Amino acid sequence: MIWDEAIKYCGELAERNHDWHLPTIDELRGRIASCRATSPGGACSVSEENGNLPFGALEEACKGCPDDGETHGTGYGDDEDKGWYWSSSACSEDAIVAFRVNFDTGEISTYNKDHKSKVRCFRYKYDSEE
Protein backbone atom coordinates (compact mmCIF):
# COMPACT_ATOMS: atom_id res chain seq x y z
CA MET A 1 0.00 0.00 0.00
CA ILE A 2 1.06 3.62 -0.27
CA TRP A 3 2.69 5.30 2.75
CA ASP A 4 -0.34 7.31 3.96
CA GLU A 5 -2.49 4.16 3.82
CA ALA A 6 0.18 2.24 5.75
CA ILE A 7 0.27 4.86 8.54
CA LYS A 8 -3.52 4.80 8.77
CA TYR A 9 -3.79 1.00 8.58
CA CYS A 10 -1.36 0.41 11.44
CA GLY A 11 -2.85 3.22 13.52
CA GLU A 12 -6.34 1.75 13.20
CA LEU A 13 -5.32 -1.87 13.69
CA ALA A 14 -7.06 -3.40 16.69
CA GLU A 15 -5.65 -6.86 17.11
CA ARG A 16 -5.23 -8.70 20.41
CA ASN A 17 -6.11 -5.53 22.36
CA HIS A 18 -2.79 -3.81 21.59
CA ASP A 19 -1.87 -0.47 20.07
CA TRP A 20 -0.01 -0.73 16.75
CA HIS A 21 2.06 1.62 14.60
CA LEU A 22 4.07 1.68 11.39
CA PRO A 23 7.66 1.16 12.62
CA THR A 24 10.36 3.80 12.39
CA ILE A 25 13.42 3.16 10.26
CA ASP A 26 15.31 2.35 13.49
CA GLU A 27 12.74 -0.28 14.45
CA LEU A 28 12.90 -1.86 10.99
CA ARG A 29 16.71 -1.87 11.11
CA GLY A 30 16.36 -3.90 14.28
CA ARG A 31 14.76 -6.66 12.17
CA ILE A 32 17.56 -6.83 9.59
CA ALA A 33 19.41 -10.10 10.02
CA SER A 34 22.87 -10.99 8.68
CA CYS A 35 23.74 -7.66 7.06
CA ARG A 36 26.09 -5.80 9.40
CA ALA A 37 26.18 -2.54 7.42
CA THR A 38 22.46 -1.88 7.80
CA SER A 39 21.74 -3.68 11.07
CA PRO A 40 21.50 -1.45 14.17
CA GLY A 41 24.87 0.06 14.96
CA GLY A 42 26.10 -0.67 11.43
CA ALA A 43 27.92 1.67 9.04
CA CYS A 44 24.69 3.03 7.49
CA SER A 45 23.94 6.16 9.49
CA VAL A 46 20.26 6.57 8.58
CA SER A 47 18.41 6.92 11.87
CA GLU A 48 15.37 8.76 13.14
CA GLU A 49 16.77 8.47 16.63
CA ASN A 50 19.93 10.33 15.55
CA GLY A 51 18.06 12.81 13.33
CA ASN A 52 19.84 11.58 10.19
CA LEU A 53 17.11 11.17 7.54
CA PRO A 54 18.74 12.44 4.32
CA PHE A 55 17.25 12.42 0.85
CA GLY A 56 18.79 10.97 -2.26
CA ALA A 57 22.42 9.97 -2.08
CA LEU A 58 22.50 7.57 0.82
CA GLU A 59 25.95 6.37 1.72
CA GLU A 60 27.29 3.16 0.19
CA ALA A 61 26.81 1.32 3.50
CA CYS A 62 23.02 1.70 3.17
CA LYS A 63 22.94 -0.39 -0.02
CA GLY A 64 22.80 -3.59 2.02
CA CYS A 65 24.39 -6.93 1.31
CA PRO A 66 24.50 -8.95 -1.91
CA ASP A 67 21.30 -10.70 -2.87
CA ASP A 68 22.74 -14.18 -2.49
CA GLY A 69 19.40 -15.94 -2.27
CA GLU A 70 19.42 -15.60 1.50
CA THR A 71 16.92 -13.31 3.14
CA HIS A 72 18.47 -10.66 5.38
CA GLY A 73 15.22 -9.79 7.05
CA THR A 74 12.97 -10.20 9.98
CA GLY A 75 13.93 -13.68 11.13
CA TYR A 76 10.35 -14.84 10.72
CA GLY A 77 11.58 -17.33 8.10
CA ASP A 78 8.68 -16.69 5.80
CA ASP A 79 8.92 -15.88 2.08
CA GLU A 80 6.24 -13.26 2.62
CA ASP A 81 8.75 -11.25 4.68
CA LYS A 82 10.95 -10.62 1.66
CA GLY A 83 10.84 -7.38 -0.30
CA TRP A 84 10.45 -3.70 0.51
CA TYR A 85 8.69 -2.53 3.69
CA TRP A 86 7.66 1.01 4.63
CA SER A 87 8.91 2.74 7.75
CA SER A 88 7.09 5.68 9.34
CA SER A 89 10.26 7.77 8.99
CA ALA A 90 9.81 10.55 6.47
CA CYS A 91 12.73 12.23 4.76
CA SER A 92 13.83 15.41 6.53
CA GLU A 93 14.47 17.24 3.24
CA ASP A 94 11.51 16.19 1.07
CA ALA A 95 7.95 15.76 2.37
CA ILE A 96 6.92 13.37 -0.42
CA VAL A 97 9.59 10.78 0.44
CA ALA A 98 9.88 8.19 3.25
CA PHE A 99 12.33 5.43 4.16
CA ARG A 100 11.91 1.73 3.59
CA VAL A 101 13.91 -1.49 4.01
CA ASN A 102 14.44 -4.37 1.59
CA PHE A 103 14.54 -7.61 3.56
CA ASP A 104 16.02 -9.54 0.65
CA THR A 105 19.25 -7.50 0.73
CA GLY A 106 19.10 -5.38 3.90
CA GLU A 107 19.13 -2.22 1.78
CA ILE A 108 17.79 1.04 3.23
CA SER A 109 16.38 3.50 0.72
CA THR A 110 13.99 6.39 0.18
CA TYR A 111 10.86 6.10 -1.95
CA ASN A 112 8.00 8.37 -2.97
CA LYS A 113 5.13 8.03 -0.52
CA ASP A 114 2.59 7.61 -3.34
CA HIS A 115 4.22 4.34 -4.46
CA LYS A 116 3.40 0.97 -2.90
CA SER A 117 5.49 -1.12 -0.53
CA LYS A 118 4.70 -3.85 1.96
CA VAL A 119 3.62 -3.10 5.51
CA ARG A 120 4.37 -4.74 8.84
CA CYS A 121 2.81 -3.11 11.89
CA PHE A 122 4.65 -3.15 15.22
CA ARG A 123 3.10 -3.20 18.67
CA TYR A 124 3.77 -0.32 20.99
CA LYS A 125 5.69 -1.57 23.98
CA TYR A 126 4.92 0.06 27.29
CA ASP A 127 7.09 0.13 30.40
CA SER A 128 4.66 -2.14 32.24
CA GLU A 129 5.10 -4.89 29.63
CA GLU A 130 7.89 -7.45 29.74
Q: Which among 31, 3, 25 has a CA at the least distance from the CA of 108?
A: 25
Question: Which positions ≥6 away from 115 have C-beta within 8 Å?
Answer: 2
99: β partners: 110
> 67-110, pLDDT tens digit by residue?
655 555 554 445 567 889 999 999 888 889 999 999 888 899 99
Which of 8-12, 58-62, 69-73, 83-87 is least confident?
A: 69-73
Residue 54: Cβ within 10 Å count: 16
Query: Is it the case that residue 112 has pLDDT exceeding 80?
Result: yes
- Does the predicted TM-score (pTM) go above 0.95? no
pLDDT for the residue 32: 86
